[in-house]
Amino acid sequence: MELVLSLGIGAFAAAGVWLILRPRTFQVVLGLSLLSYAINLFIFAMGRLTVGSPPVLGAGIDTVSVDDPVPQALVLTAVVISFALTALFLVVLLAARGVTGSDHVDGHEPSSAEPRPGHPQP
Amino acid sequence: MPPEALLVAAAILPFLGSAAAICLPSHARNAAAGLAGGVMLASLACILLLYPLAMGGGPVSASLDWLPSLGVRLTLRLDGLAWLFAVLVLGIGALVVLYARYYMATEDPVPRLFCYFLAFVGAMLGIVLSGNLIQLVVFWELTSVVSFLLIGYWSDNASARDGARMALTITAAGGLCLLVGMVLLGRIVGSYDLDRVLASGDVIRASPAYLPALVLILAGALTKSAQFPFHIWLPRAMAAPTPISAYLHSATMVKAGVFLMIRFWPALAGTESWYWIVGTAGMATMLVGAWSAIFQHDLKGLLAYSTISHLGLITLLLGLDSPLAVVAAIFHTVNHATFKASLFMAAGIIDHEAGTRDLRRLSGLWRAMPYTATLAMVAASAMAGVPLLNGFLSKEMFLAEAVDNSGDHLLNHALPVLATVASAFTVLYSLRFIRQTFFGPPPRDLPHAPHEPVRWMRIPVEALVLICIAIGLVPNLTIGPVLHGAASAVLGTRMPTYDLAIWHGFNAPLAMSVAALAGGVVLYVVFGRRINANPRGGPWLMDRLDGGRLFERAMTGLVRGARLLEARLGSERLQPQLRILFLAALLAATATGVSRNLDLFAAGRTTTFDPAFALLWVVGVACAIGAAERAKYHRLSATILVGGAGLVSCLTFLWLSAPDLAVTQILVELLTTVMLLLSLRWLPKRDEAIPTPEVERTRARRRRITDAIVAAFVGLGLAGLAHAVMTRPAVDGISRWFVEEAYPQAGGRNVVNVLLVDFRAFDTLGEICVLGVVGLTVFALLRRFRPAPDSRERPAQQISHDAYDRSREGREPGHTAADALMVPRIVTTWLFPFILLLALHLFLRGHDLPGGGFAAGITLTVAFALQYMARGAEWVEERLRIQPISWIGAGLLVAVLAGAGSWLFGRPYLTASFAYWDAPLIGKVPLASALVFDLGIMVLVVGASALMLVALAHQSLRRTRATGAQAERESAGEVA
């Protein structure tokens, strides 16, 4: 299980990093999304893996064997915040595309030397 | 008034006055000068009242905790030395205020000058009265900054700007060194308290950190006191208005460095390194300053170099490591302040009334302004060390020290000779100043016809000259007790006996004095004419070595070097920057791993392997890689694949005992996907078929390969790290406590939720604030949104639908869109109340079972989003007004008030409490105050996420409206 999950985290992170390094803003947004999955899982995994005993207490539940709640609490807020960040980046992407006419991360197509705000590239 | 209050009042008044002065209108000359003068006199009165306390017994002090965690206290401390300097700062300051009132032109914005001036006085007093090392450095830097403003007061003058910049660069750089030095000193002693530092001289000198601390502190003091080779800023600072020069370069700014060396003399002096650094710097400065002063044609330039020379003399005295020399240094500091301030003021009067400061043009002013000439002559004689004036007494003490200082150093043998030579130079330039300005033939073609200044402008000069004479005639009655008090505050038990008498009999110092006076006169008679003829005004032998030009060249080189480095190594492009970031992270992690011998595959704990889990992750990895591959040309499928990856991570949470995370993740996933889909419409078309040039394609391929390698290594590293941690046994940290105490202390069975809303509620409060801020930012960004021109068209699908509708009988454009997905649309509408119920359910059970405010809030937003998707924004908003911004505000308010509620019971903020309520029919219901906080979370999450979604969704609407209006206008135009 550990090996599977760690390889999965690695694959998510690699795909995310590769996308973040791409020239188009939409790719970068998707990449950030993937990278945040990887990081959330990574932080979650810091509490070690436990199958079938969530940190929900009740009669007959042994407090020693339940999963570590601290990384879970951290990741829960991280999930919500990364949603907000994705939304923010998405809107910045759209605004930049509206202003510069290009969806390149530098705000202009690589062939043109100078950014030309307000003018779409042919 | 108690002494502490007087002390605090004296220190604070200048700052208050400064703040008040800047509020005055820019032509309020009398009001500003009156304010400044009043403040100076009030502050001075406070200090004068403290005289008996400061001179007798220990220092007066008042203190306040500033940074208790770092052991830094804000302490004001007044002892004899501080008293003397405070009186110099305030007394000469008051005279300068009076002088400046009449010196400054009517069109100058005088309140601004007095604002800076008072701030500078406050900073100077701060240095003098500091009882704490860090506090001292803060005020020290403040004087650098404010002196920058003062020197550059006439900011439309290029030389004022350059002079101000150079002064700031040099003194502020020294100030930074001083800060580090003071921190070192504080670490050696174990306290930043001045009293403790001064009492620990032996510990400090024995410490291995002594030398670095000494060098750094002296770097601060020597730059401020314009010691060679840092003296270059001082002559350039003469671009300041003359009252400011008179103040900065006689009693204050440059004396701050001297003050620092005197103050820390008990703690730092008495070693070889002190002797060599301070003594050599002082000696060099004294000679270079005096030599350069001889050749100045500008009155203020002459006084500037003479100031440098006298500062060198004081520094040299402090370097000699003899208590008597310290007394002489303090004495000469006072004397120099009085005669130099009056000379600057006299120079200002001459400049003001004659229109020039050029010694070659001035001549015979004695006839036009005999009164001013007399005053200037007395002051210049004091500077030259003529008997019966104060300069003579301290110079005698200096010469005596030069003779007495027996040692084997080369410096000691040369000292008497060099001291006499420097004194002769002083006589020479003083004589030149007097002779050129006041004697000789009547002046020709001066800009103004010279005459005596207004009565009030002379008063400050008269007062200072009177002091010079009084100290010179009856030193024991005037300066005696003060000097004794100040010196014993520094020297303590090492206080020497000395005699301030004018006549000590025929001895070596007297002979040297006479030799210097005679030598100076002879030199002037022999060389005077040739000095005046020296065209460039640069000193002989040294005119090739222009420190100022070297400094400018160094600064230009620095800027040019920085530009070059930026051009070579920098990039404005995002991709290389990100690549470097990832590479750096990779490198740092690898280096740490290798240096600590991290074993990634040390066998340890494992959980039983489950093929289904492996299969799940095969799908997950495929989704991630697919998304990476598709994202450029096939955005829709890439979005779906990212959603798939999110789903896999959601299922993983569920599998690995994190139901709360799974619930939140799947809901967030829904919203993210909807938002991504909404944004697709505004992105440019991208077609694989568009040909790219071969060169570009090769470059892109190379870049992709590099990035793939970087990405692969980051992935592998993270995978290895994750595996290494997961297979190691769990560390017994804080988690156990949370699990055990969740029910007894917070009444909740769902530990994750209890953590969020109770134990770590303050963190959560911060996080929901972030969420609210992001929501508002999205909203604000989209209000100004203008789509790119190529996205303004209606989508191809809509156009084809409308074309179809137009071509058929009985159909209106829009019918096809309205018919689509009819069944899901009705089902979704019916689902609405049930989703609301689900949200309520998730919210209420959150404390005990998976759920909670975050999940409930997002569920609610999903309910709204579904309605928008099924029916369109217009339909929904006709029936349902969501006001997301109000939701954000309400949520934040509820959360904050829920926290504040605990104050009512005298408990700290956000302390939760819980109880059971016996409800009719239902039975026992747990009631926790954390539930209210969770309600706040829910409401805010609804507001923020709904705001983002609705703002994005509305863009299409706005566009249709705009194009609709445009189409109407166009058709109207056709009709017309």
Mean pLDDT by 10 residues, chain B (976 residues): 86 92 87 92 92 81 76 84 93 93 87 92 93 92 93 89 91 94 92 89 91 94 90 88 90 91 91 90 92 88 92 91 89 93 92 86 86 92 89 88 71 82 92 89 81 88 92 87 89 83 80 88 85 67 68 88 88 87 92 84 75 92 92 90 94 91 92 88 76 78 90 92 86 82 81 86 90 90 78 78 82 76 86 92 86 90 87 80 88 89 78 72 69 90 90 74 56 48
Task: Give the pLDDT score at B410.
Answer: 66
Question: B657 vs A46: CB contact, 8 Å cut-off?
Answer: no
Is A101 at the interface with chain B, CB within 8 A? yes
Torsion angle of the four alpha carbons B37, B41, B47, B51, in this order, in degrees rounded to the nearest 10: 140
Question: A54 vs B767: CB contact, 8 Å cut-off?
Answer: no
B206: its two tokens: 């024995």
- How many interchain CB pairs under 8 A, A with B? 321
CA distance B930 to B937: 11
Q: In this complex, which of B605, B656, B672 lies closest to A33 when CB atoms are compared?
A: B672
Is A75 at the interface with chain B, CB within 8 A? yes
Question: B665 vs A38: CB contact, 8 Å cut-off?
Answer: no
What are φ and ψ of residue B330, in 5° steps? -65, -45
Cβ count near B501 (within 10 Å): 11
CA distance B953 to B829: 18
User: Any idea what DSSP says for residue B506?
Assistant: S
Question: B767 vs A76: CB contact, 8 Å cut-off?
Answer: no
Question: A83 vs B668: CB contact, 8 Å cut-off?
Answer: yes
B405: three-class secondary structure by DSSP:
coil
Amino acid, res. B181: G
Give the closest-approach CA distance of A79 to chain B in angstroms: 7
What are φ and ψ of residue A70, in 5° steps? -65, -50
H helices of B872-929, in order, are 873-879, 884-900
- β pairing state of B914-919 and B923-928: antiparallel
Question: B627 vs A4: CB contact, 8 Å cut-off?
Answer: no
Mutation for testing the B interface, residue in A6, A46, A64 having most B CBs under 10 Å: A6
B415 neighbors B402 (Cβ within 8 angstroms): yes
Q: Is a pLDDT exceeding 60 seen at residue A113?
A: no
Element (H, E) at B65: strand B60-67
Task: Give the pLDDT score at B14.
Answer: 93
Is A119 at the interface with chain B, CB within 8 A? no
A42 vs B contacts (CB less than 8 Å): 718, 721-722
Task: Give the pLDDT score at B35.
Answer: 92
Match 């959360």 to its residue by tokens: B895
What CA–CA distances, in Å, run from B292 to B445, B647, B972? 28, 81, 86
B101 neighbors B346 (Cβ within 8 angstroms): no
Question: A57 vs B743: CB contact, 8 Å cut-off?
Answer: yes
What CA–CA distances, in Å, run from B155 to B21, B261, B304, B398, B518? 19, 33, 21, 40, 44
Question: A13 vs B785: CB contact, 8 Å cut-off?
Answer: no
Q: In this complex, which of B725, B738, B782 lies closest to A70 when CB atoms are compared?
A: B738
Give the closest-approach CA distance of B960 to chain A in angstroms: 16
Question: A17 vs B715: CB contact, 8 Å cut-off?
Answer: yes
B771 vs A contacts (CB less than 8 Å): 80-81, 84
User: Residues 2..61 of A with a Cβ closer than 8 Å to B: which?
Assistant: 2-24, 26-27, 29-31, 33-34, 37-38, 40-42, 44-58
Question: B718 vs A38: CB contact, 8 Å cut-off?
Answer: yes
Those residues whose C-beta lies under 8 Å from the C-beta of residue B19, and which sit 6 or more positions away, are B115
Q: Which residues of B535-574 are buried (b: 16+ CB within 10 A; e: fewer)?
A: eebebeeeeeeebeeebeeeeeeeeeeeeeeeeeeeeeeb
- β pairing state of B60-67 and B72-78: antiparallel
What are φ and ψ of residue B107, in 5° steps? -85, -5
B624 vs A contacts (CB less than 8 Å): 11-12, 14-16, 34
A58 vs B contacts (CB less than 8 Å): 749
A29 vs B contacts (CB less than 8 Å): 676
Those residues whose C-beta lies under 8 Å from the C-beta of residue B863, and which sit 6 or more positions away, are B831, B832, B835, B836, B839
B570 vs A contacts (CB less than 8 Å): none
Question: A77 vs B777: CB contact, 8 Å cut-off?
Answer: no
Q: In this complex, which of B710, B715, B849 lies closest to A10 when CB atoms are compared?
A: B715
ipTM: 0.91
Question: B676 vs A84: CB contact, 8 Å cut-off?
Answer: no
Question: B675 vs A87: CB contact, 8 Å cut-off?
Answer: yes
For the entire predicted model, the pTM comes to 0.69
Is A115 at the interface with chain B, CB within 8 A? no
Give the closest-approach CA distance of B928 to chain A in angstroms: 17
Give the closest-approach CA distance of A62 to chain B in angstroms: 10
Match 């769990």 to its residue by tokens: B730
Question: A45 vs B722: CB contact, 8 Å cut-off?
Answer: yes
Give the closest-approach CA distance of A112 to chain B in angstroms: 13
B934 vs A contacts (CB less than 8 Å): none
A116 vs B contacts (CB less than 8 Å): none
Residue of A nearest to B615 (CA): A4
Mutation for testing the A interface, residue in B619, B652, B656, B848 having most A CBs under 10 Å: B656
Give the closest-approach CA distance of A39 to chain B in angstroms: 9
Task: Give the pLDDT score at A115.
Answer: 43
Task: Give the pLDDT score at B331.
Answer: 93
Mean residue pLDDT across chain A = 83
Task: Give the pLDDT score at B645.
Answer: 94
Q: In this complex, which of B606, B631, B788 lies closest to A30 when CB atoms are compared?
A: B631
Question: B854 vs A80: CB contact, 8 Å cut-off?
Answer: yes
Residue of B nearest to A92 (CA): B781
A46 vs B contacts (CB less than 8 Å): 725
B283 neighbors B243 (Cβ within 8 angstroms): no
Length of chain A: 122
Mutation for testing the A interface, residue in B690, B702, B718 having most A CBs under 10 Å: B718
Residue of B nearest to A67 (CA): B657
Is A121 at the interface with chain B, CB within 8 A? no
**Partners of B925 in the β-ladder:** B917
B790 vs A contacts (CB less than 8 Å): 101, 120
Question: B682 vs A98: CB contact, 8 Å cut-off?
Answer: yes
B912: its two tokens: 């939760």
User: Any idea what DSSP says for residue B757?
Assistant: I
**Partners of A104 in the β-ladder:** A24
Task: Give the pLDDT score at B924.
Answer: 65
CA distance B938 to A97: 33
